[in-house]
Amino acid sequence: QVQLVESGGGLVQPGGSLRLSCAASGLTFRWWTMRWYRQAPGKERELVAAITSAGDSTNYADSVEGRFTISRDNAKNTVYLQMNSLKPEDTAMYYCNAYRSADGYNYWGQGTQVTVSS
């Protein structure tokens, strides 16, 4: 059974930082592209960041470029999202996603809430 378990969300002031983690089990983690999505109330889910299976390439949404960093540790079956210089508009539920490019198959985590507010 595949599980993706996110952690690290919370309440932070504008300008602050958080580090999200997503621990994967039940799949061969090193074979999967990992992605972070977010969804704010009343908005569509959007792709925030992605990292290839080997960790040799990343890409980011324009809105987080230069502030967020995605990374992975294949030995620990974990992907991370370091979020710096947080803004109120970063407030959302953040979801971890495992993606298999060969057939487009996806797995999703349950999400972790990030709230940026003073």
Tokens of 51: 């990292």
> Rounded to an integer, what distance in angstroms lies between the CA atom of residue 117 and that of residue 4?
27
Q: What's the mean pLDDT when you consider all of the chain? A: 97
pLDDT of amino acid 67: 98
pLDDT-above-90 percentage for the chain? 97
**pLDDT (average), residues 64-93:** 98
User: Given this model, what pLDDT does residue 52 score?
Assistant: 96
Q: Nearest CA to 10 among 117, 95, 89? A: 117
Spatial separation of the C-alpha atoms in residues 40 and 100, rounded to whole Å = 25
- pLDDT at 102 > cutoff 90: no
User: Which tens digit of pLDDT belongs to each residue from 16-72?
Assistant: 999 999 999 999 999 999 999 999 999 999 999 999 999 999 999 999 999 999 999
**Rounded distance, CA 74 to CA 12, Å?**
28
The pLDDT, as a whole number, for residue 26 is: 95
- CB distance 32 to 49 below 8 Å: no
